[in-house]
Structure 1
Amino acid sequence: MDDAETDPWPPGERVKNYAAPGVTVRYDARRCAHAAECVNRLPKVFDTGRRPWIDPSQATPAEIAATIRHCPSGALHFSLPDGPEEHGPVPATVTALPDGPLFVRGEFEIDGHREVRALLCRCGNSGNKPFCDGSHLRTGWTSESP
C-alpha cells in the first residue's frame, strides 16, 4: 500500500492515494463530511482506529468501488487499472439537504476538474468553498436563514 503519493488537487492540499492490486483509493480529507458511509459499509478497509486508516488490500476492487460510490462528499474516489472509470448519472442532480449543503451527484466539473459527487456549501461560511466543511453546523445556519 502506498499512502505517500499525492495528487495536487485541490492546489496546495495533500490528497492521499492508497493502492492495492486492482484498485487505488484516493482520499481528500478536506472534502470529507464524516458521513461514515465508508466505515459503516466496509470497515475492514476503512478503519479510523488504524494507521493508515484505508487499507484497500482487505477487500475486492468491486467491494471497494461499491462502497466509495456511497461517499456523498466526493472525498473518496477509486480507480481500477482495467476500468471502468467512476461515473455518475447524466444529467447531474442537485438536492438541497435540509439545513445543510447541496448534494450534487452526476457528471459535472468544478474549476475544470471532473466530479461525480460533491457536497457544496449553501451557508456561505465554508473555509473550503465551494465544498461544505460543516460550517453550517457550527454557525447554526438553517435553510430558513437569510
Structure 2
Amino acid sequence: MKALKITVLANGPYRVAGARQITQLFIQPNAQGLSWSYREGKAFPLQEEGSLLCRCGHSANKPYCDGSHQTTGFDGRVEATRADYFQQAQLQEGPVAALSDAEKLCAFARFCDAGGQIWNLVEQEDAASVALAVREAEYCPAGRLKVWDIQSQKQISKEPDTQALYLLEDPKLHCSAALWVKAADALDVEGDKPYPVRERMTLCRCGASANKPFCDGSHASIKWQDGL
C-alpha cells in the first residue's frame, strides 16, 4: 500500500496522493435522532500519484478542484495549532475510565451525544456506560475523544489502522460535512511546517472553518452542501 499523503496547497486545494478513491459517508441517526452509525454512498476515483480535492467549497466538479478558489477570493491560510493531540487535550477522570478531549478538533458530528453524552458516561462505574463511551469515542471522526482505562492507563478506544478517505454528509442537519481522513502518513502544508499526523483527522472542505486546515463545524452553521 502506498503512503497516504495530503498536502494543503497555498490558498488552494488538497493534493492527495496514495489513495485510489474517496467515498461518501452519511451520518445516520438512531430512533432518538442522535448520530449513531454511518452509511456509505458513492465512491469517486482518485489517482494514486495525486489528485486535487476542493478546499474552498465552490468547485462545480466536487469533490475535485476546478480552480474556483482562484476567482472566489478564498482565504486558505492555515491557522490551526501544530501542537500534537496530547498537548491540546484535557483529561477527565471517572471511577473506571478517563476521557481525553481535544475540544478544538470538534467537527460537530455529534456521536458523543447518545446515552446522555460521553462526558457523563465516563463518570459511571457500570460496564455498559463505559462501553458506550468507548463506542462514541471510536465513532468520533475528528479524533477529538479517547477513552482510557484508569487502572492500566492504556487507551481502550481503538484507532483506525486502515487508510481511507471519506466525504462526510450530515442529512440530519441538511448539510455536507468534513473530509474525513483515516491513518494518513503525512499532512503537509505547501511552503510551511507539516502538521502532526493523527489516526483520525477531519479537514475543512466548505472553506469556512476558522481552524483550517481542520473542520470546526462551520458547515453546519452555513448549511453548506456539496451537491453530490
Q: Same fold (TM over 0.5)?
A: yes
Structure 1 contact 25–76 (Cα < 8 Å) conserved: yes
Query: What RMSD over aligned residues (CA atoms) do the two structures have, in Å?
Result: 3.2
Q: Pick one of 176, 183, 199 that aligns with 1:116.
A: 199
Structure 1 residue runs of 5 or longer lacking an equivalent are: 1-7, 47-52
Counterpart of 2:97?
Answer: 23
Secondary structure of the corresponding residue to residue 123 of structure 2: helix
Structure 1 contact 123–136 (Cα < 8 Å) conserved: yes
User: Structure 1 vs Structure 2: percent identity of aligned residues?
Assistant: 25
Cα distance in 2 for residues equivalent to 1:97 and 1:85: 21
Closer, same or farther: CA 122–19 of 1 in aligned 2, 3 Å: same
Cα distance in 2 for residues equivalent to 1:35 and 1:20: 24
Q: Pick one of 127, 151, 159 that aligns with 1:87.
A: 159
Following TM superposition, the consecutive aligned residue runs of length 4 or more in structure 1 with deviations greater than 6 angstroms are none
Q: Does 1 or 2 have the higher relative contact order (CA < 8 Å, sep 6+)?
A: 2
Matched letter for residue 103 of structure 1: W
Structure 1 contact 86–116 (Cα < 8 Å) conserved: no
Residue deviations 1:55-114 (CA, integer Å, cap 9, x gap): 513143444222211112222112332455732132x1111224321012346555224x
TM-score normalised by the chain length of structure 1: 0.64
Counterpart of 2:111?
Answer: 37
Deviation at 1:137, TM superposition (A): 3.9
Closer, same or farther: CA 142–62 of 1 in aligned 2, 3 Å: closer
TM-score normalised by the chain length of structure 2: 0.45
Structure 2 residue runs of 5 or longer lacking an equivalent are: 1-81, 170-175, 188-194
Structure 1 contact 38–67 (Cα < 8 Å) conserved: yes
Alignment size in residue pairs: 126
